[in-house]
Amino acid sequence: MLSATVLSAAALGACTGDGGQTGGAGGSDAHVATQPSSSTSPTEDGGLDDAALCVAYGDVLTIAENADLGLADGRMEEQERLGWYKLATRVLGRLPSGEDSAVQTAIGELQEIAPAVAPGAYSESTGVRSPEWWQAEVDLAEACDALGAPLATSVFTGG
């Protein structure tokens, strides 16, 4: 279900006049998915396996989605949302990437689009939720779906 949501959000993000920075589908309960109970166990070399990376990426999704909802609901200003986006880039930056798999390739693309922003550093834009971000996220969602580890987010703001 989340893959359809991510794909829909990607299409909506590409259609916005502000470069996709308004957030995908604006607070619909269709975004709410629970984190899978998959473990985040390390592989033999000490890294996370691809399914665990899909689960870990859910934290990035959760940060961005809740920040978007907070802005859309008027509970925060754009400056605060950008602060949350910067946090999302740091969480994303901690995930292993490379060309070993489709999951790691997509994570690497996301890291290039939205490089980690150091705490307190000035950043004009983080790249989070840009049209390029949406496409890379669609690629990641497809790779995670193929593993049986769909992307998931936890919406906890508002109400």
3-state helix, strand, coil in the chain (%, to 5): 55, 0, 45
Q: Domain residues of the chain, as ranges?
A: 1-11+60-153
Indicate whether 61 pLDDT > 50: yes
pLDDT, tens digit (0-9, with 9 covering 90-100), for 110-149: 999 999 999 988 887 789 999 999 999 999 999 999 999 9
Q: What is the pLDDT of residues 66-90, one digit of tens each?
A: 999 999 999 999 999 999 999 999 9
Answering whether pTM is above 0.75, one says: no
Q: Give the contacts of 52 (CB within 8 A, at least 6 positions apart).
A: 38, 39, 40, 41, 42
| Count of CB atoms situated within 10 Å of the CB of 64 | 27
Q: Average pLDDT of the chain?
A: 78
Judged by DSSP in three states, 156 sits in coil
Query: Using CA atoms, how far apart are residues 133 and 67, in angstroms rounded to an integer?
Result: 16
